[in-house]
């Protein structure tokens, strides 16, 4: 009887980790599913030279500059990478890796930026929101 209860408890715990834990992970749901299933098509690498990625990076830096409580003057130096984490019909989530220079002390730093976009169609942007802007390290 106790062996059966233990087996049921183990099965419930395993089901929890494979079904519900991806919803609470720091990754997006599709990215978590791709990690569990082993799909290699997510995340997608996006061309850093495209005007869409450049606009995303510049507007993310401008939004970050306006959102901090003290005056911050970051300017874009270079886009190191861009990945599309997931999308559905109208919503997209991107991770950008940027080099930005702080105009106050003239130091270049590496940042990881997560951007959420809503589009009318693939080419027309409706709304963009900065989700995360994280300093990785100073160069």
Q: Is the pLDDT of residue 133 over 60?
A: yes
Q: Tell me which residue range forms the domain holding 68.
A: 44-138
pLDDT at residue 104 greater than cutoff 60: yes
Is-contact 45 88, C-beta < 8 A?
no
Residue 17 has pLDDT above 60, yes or no: no
Closest to 27 (Cα-Cα) out of 110, 128, 114:
114
Q: Does residue 97 carry a pLDDT above 90?
A: yes
**What are the distances in angstroms from CA 4 to CA 12, 80, 108?**
12, 54, 60
Q: Are residues 86 and 106 in the same domain?
A: yes
pLDDT digits (tens, 9 = 90+) for 40-94: 455 788 888 988 899 999 999 999 988 876 667 899 999 999 998 887 878 888 9
Are 86 and 125 members of one domain?
yes
Whether residues 50 and 112 fall in one domain: yes
CATH code of the domain containing 55: 3.10.450.10
Rounded CA-CA distance 96/108 in Å is 16
| Average pLDDT of the chain to the nearest whole number | 77
What's this model's pTM, rounded to 2 decimal places?
0.64
Q: What is d(CA 93, CA 36) in angstroms, rounded to the nearest whole number? A: 20
Same domain, 49 and 31: no
Look at residue 27 in the predicted model and tell me its pLDDT. 44
Q: What confidence score (pLDDT) does residue 19 get?
A: 54
Is residue 100 located within the same domain as residue 68?
Answer: yes
């Amino acid at each position: 009887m106790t062996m059966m209860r233990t087996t049921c408890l183990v099965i419930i715990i395993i089901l929890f980790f494979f079904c519900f834990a991806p919803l609470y992970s720091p990754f997006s749901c599709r990215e978590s599913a791709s990690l569990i299933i082993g799909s290699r098509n997510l995340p997608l690498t996006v061309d850093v030279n495209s005007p869409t990625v450049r606009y995303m990076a510049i507007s993310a830096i401008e939004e970050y500059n306006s959102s901090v409580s003290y005056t911050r003057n970051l300017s874009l130096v270079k886009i190191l990478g861009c990945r599309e984490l997931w999308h559905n019909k109208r919503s997209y989530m991107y991770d950008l890796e940027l080099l930005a220079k702080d105009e106050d002390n003239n130091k270049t730093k590496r940042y990881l930026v997560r951007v959420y976009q809503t589009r009318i169609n693939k080419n027309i942007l409706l709304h963009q929101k900065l989700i995360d802007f994280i300093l990785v390290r100073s160069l």
